[in-house]
Amino acid sequence: MRRNRYSYFLKEGVNSIFTHGFMSFASVSIIVACLIIMGSFTLLTINVQSMIKKWESENQMLAFVDEAFTGDQAKELEKELKAIPNVADAKFVSKDEALKSYLSQFGDNDLFKGIDSSVLRHRYIVYLKEIGKMAESKKNLEAVKGIVKVNAHLEISQGFVTITRIVSTVSIIIIVILLVISMFIMSNTIKLTTFDRREEIAIMKMVGATNAFIRWPFVFEGLILGFVGALIAFLLQWAIYYFLVMEINKSSTMKLIETVPFGQLALPLLGIFVATGLIVGAGGSLTVIRKYLNV
């Protein structure tokens, strides 16, 4: 009996989608448009944050070893350096390697011609886990016996921290605003479709239908429309992202931008789209028909 009723509600919901074809099309289109706008901005934010993270991880400090240390003694510091909190990695560079690196960069410059590696120091390239704690890490590195000097671009680290904060805050604000606007547009579209059927609801009430009986077909209808809208939006988003990534990779200047593969984002994005579609579809229907149920 109960199963019969739910299959009736489902059948009514599906029928209603087709009998009110234009309004169903409008609802799905609005859901698709809003989800794509929101999704595109979310993907953009994720990519910007991923790039900042990558740049952060590439940012390094140079820790110079005391001139009195032999190569072997200098190498022994590696363990100690890696044990410092916030140090992700410490890569040893000998005097000879350092000279080679200089020559490869500035070999044409007369200043470096005939230079001997003994004028240079052994050094470590130190990578940090969190760039925001660069100043503190610099102090810890300088405290290690055998390290005489640490070169760190503190102003760059501060810049990254500021940029990350700004990007995160602005993204959250914009995504929330877009979400609210999308909800508003979607619930208004659903309101229009329901307004079209207030007479039907009044007739249902008059023949003795309970509020639950009236509500369920609308809920099923909203769920189906929301789900279909979410799936279409996801597929379109995928296509747009794929196309953009392809264009970026084709372009010689934009090639430097490293994009996050869609595969990594697909499942969470699909989840968010489907959840938003279902909530907006069913929630919108429920909120709006409540008004017409007080007959």
Partner 1 sequence: MVRMVNVCKAYENGTKALKGITAEIKDGEFVFLVGPSGSGKSTIIKLLTGEIAPTLGSIIVNGYDLETIKPAQMPFLRRTLGVVFQDFRLIDKKNVYDNVAFAMHAVGASSRDIKRRVPYVLELVGLDTKTRRKPNELSGGEQQRVAIARALVNNPQLIIADEPTGNLDPARSLEIMTLLERINKLGTTVLVVTHEKELVNRFSKRVIAIDNGKLISDGMDGYYNYET
Among 37, 48, 103, 209, interactor with partner 1 by CB under 8 A: 209
Return the bridge partners of 89, or none. Answer: 127
Place of tokens 């003694």: 73
Binding-site size for partner 1 (CB under 8 A) equals: 19
Maximum C-alpha span of the chain:
102
Among 133, 185, 200, 231, interactor with partner 1 by CB under 8 A: 200
Q: Does 208 bind partner 1 (CB under 8 A)?
A: yes
Question: Shortest gap between Cβ of 291 and partner 1 (angstroms)?
Answer: 15
Question: Shortest gap between Cβ of 219 and partner 1 (angstroms)?
Answer: 16
Question: Shortest gap between Cβ of 205 and partner 1 (angstroms)?
Answer: 7
CA angle, corner 30, sides to 222 and 292, nearest 5? 45
Write out the H or E segment, with its range, that includes residue 89.
strand 87-93
Q: Does 213 bind partner 1 (CB under 8 A)?
A: yes
Contact call for residues 168 and 52 (beta carbons, < 8 A): no
Cα distance between residue 75 and residue 125, in whole Å: 12
List CB contacts of 193: < 8 A, sequence separation 6 or more: 20, 23, 24, 26, 27
Q: Decide whether 9 or 227 has the Cβ nearer to partner 1.
A: 9
Contact call for residues 121 and 64 (beta carbons, < 8 A): yes
Q: Does 111 bind partner 1 (CB under 8 A)?
A: no
Q: Does 14 bind partner 1 (CB under 8 A)?
A: no
Strand, helix or coil for residue 1: coil
58: tokens are 């590439």
Candidates 39-47, 87-95, 172-180, 203-211: pick the segment binding partner 1 (CB under 8 A): 203-211
- 256-285: contacts with partner 1 (CB under 8 A): none
Q: Does 289 bind partner 1 (CB under 8 A)?
A: no
User: Would you tell me which residues interact with partner 1 (CB under 8 A)?
Assistant: 1, 4-5, 8, 19-20, 199-200, 202-210, 213, 295
